[in-house]
Amino acid sequence: YVMLNIDAPAGVVAELERQTQINEDIIRYMTVKVDELETGPSVMMRKQERSDRGDRGSRGDRGGRDGDRGPRREREDANAGE
């Protein structure tokens, strides 16, 4: 996926669309006209800021993300009685 924010005359946008249509490496495209661009960080940048919160505390008996999970529990075999 590629997103381009451009401010150009209609003729330039039409030529960009024409070039996109004839490019065999591009399967699909979409051109969207907006009246006003949002200022500030994009949704993806805001999401990244949320994920940079650091340590989220203890995970209890589940273990840490990178730590040892401990031994596996024995699984009951469903076909044992047959």
pLDDT the model gives residue 55: 58
Give tens-digit pLDDT for 53-74: 565 566 666 655 666 667 778 8
User: Who contacts 31 (Cβ-Cβ below 8 Å, separation ≥6)?
Assistant: 13, 16, 17
Q: pTM for the full model?
A: 0.45
Counting every residue, how long is the chain? 82
Q: What is the pLDDT of residue 30?
A: 93
* Residue 34 or 37, more confident: 34
Q: Which of 11, 9, 10, 2 is nearest to 30 (CA)?
A: 2
* Cα 35 to the center of its chain, rounded Å: 26
Domain ranges in the chain are 1-36
The per-residue pLDDT for 71 is: 77
